[in-house]
Amino acid sequence: MDSLPTVEVFDHINSGGIDSQWLEKMATLAIPKCLASRGTEDPVLPGLTNIEVSLITDEAIAQVHEEFMDDPTATDVITFHHGEILISNETAKREAPAHGNSEAGETLLYLIHGLLHLNGHTDLSEPEKTQMHACQESILKELILGDSAN
**Host domain of residue 34:** 6-148
Could you tell me the pTM of the whole model?
Answer: 0.93
Half-sphere exposure of 99 (CA within 13 A, CB side): 21
Contacts of 123 (CB under 8 A, 6+ apart): 113, 117, 129, 132, 133
- Give the number of residues written for the chain: 150
Whether residue 1 is predicted with pLDDT greater than 50 in this model: the reply is no
Position 135 in a domain: yes
Identify whether the C-beta of residue 106 lies closer than 8 Å to the C-beta of residue 96. yes
pLDDT, tens digit, 9 for 90 and up, residues 49-80: 999 999 999 999 999 999 999 999 999 999 99
C-alpha span between 33 and 83 (Å, rounded): 17
Let me know if residue 18 belongs to a domain. yes
Tell me the CATH number at 28. 3.40.390.30
State mean pLDDT over 85-99: 94
Number of domains in the chain: 1
The pLDDT tens digits of the residues spanning 97-141 come to 999 999 999 999 999 999 999 999 999 899 999 999 999 999 999
In a domain, residue 1? The reply is no
139 belongs to a structural domain: yes
- 77 is a domain residue: yes
Q: Are 59 and 86 in contact (CB under 8 A)?
A: no
What span, in angstroms and rounded, lies between the C-alpha atoms of 90 and 48? 28
Distances in whole angstroms, Cα of residue 4 to Cα of each of 11, 54, 91, 96: 22, 19, 29, 29
Give me the DSSP letters along 40-78: SSPP-GGG-SEEEEEEE-HHHHHHHHHHHHS--S--SEE
- H helix or E strand, kind and range, residue 9: strand 6-11
- Looking at the domain assignment, is residue 123 inside a domain? yes
Do the domain assignments include residue 83? yes
Instruction: Report d(CA 79, CA 113) in Å as an integer.
Output: 9
